[in-house]
Amino acid sequence: MTGVALVGWSIADEQRRAEASAEVLDVEGRGTRTILTVQFSTARGEVSKESFHSSVAANRAVTIGERIRVTYGESHPCLGVREVGDRSPWHILIIAVVILTVAVIMAYVVWRRPRPPLPLRYAGMP
């Protein structure tokens, strides 16, 4: 149940994300992966610098100094910064469904298992 609550909180936090325009400070290519380091200002005026894996094809060809759109969590703007158009949070929903399904099956097994018969000395009692 704790896992379901954490996944639910994560999904709710995902819905409260804000967007900002970020300046690309560094582009690091590691084979097929591109790591971007960006700096942006939040709506409250906080300046944040963050690195993340680029998953949007259009942003893999950016150069230093260009601007891209990013999303950030309003409660922790420097954690979990992603590009606009990044669809990676869908795995959280799949994990939530799997955890909930396992919890329901386990609850059914625990509460619906067959009861052992009463000992013979209690057979005639109400």
Predicted confidence at residue 126, as pLDDT, reads 65
Cβ count within 10 A of residue 45: 6
CATH class of the domain defined by 2-111: mainly beta
Domain boundaries, the chain: 2-111
Does this model's pTM top 0.85? no
Q: Which amino acid is at 125?
A: M
Listed in sequence order, the residues at least 6 apart from 85 whose beta carbon sits closer than 8 Å to its beta carbon are 56, 58
Confidence (pLDDT) at 87: 67
The Cα 112–Cα 63 span in angstroms is: 61
Burial bucket for residue 125 (CB in 10 Å: 0-12, 13-18, 19+): exposed
Taking the chain (126 residues) in consecutive chunks of 10 residues, what is each chunk's mean pLDDT? 70 75 85 84 85 77 86 77 73 78 89 76 70
Which pLDDT value is given to residue 79? 76
Residue 116 token pair:
């052992």
- Residue carrying the six token digits 């960006």: 38
How many other β-carbons are positioned within 10 Å of the β-carbon of residue 126?
3
Question: Which pLDDT score, from 0 to 100, does residue 64 have?
Answer: 87
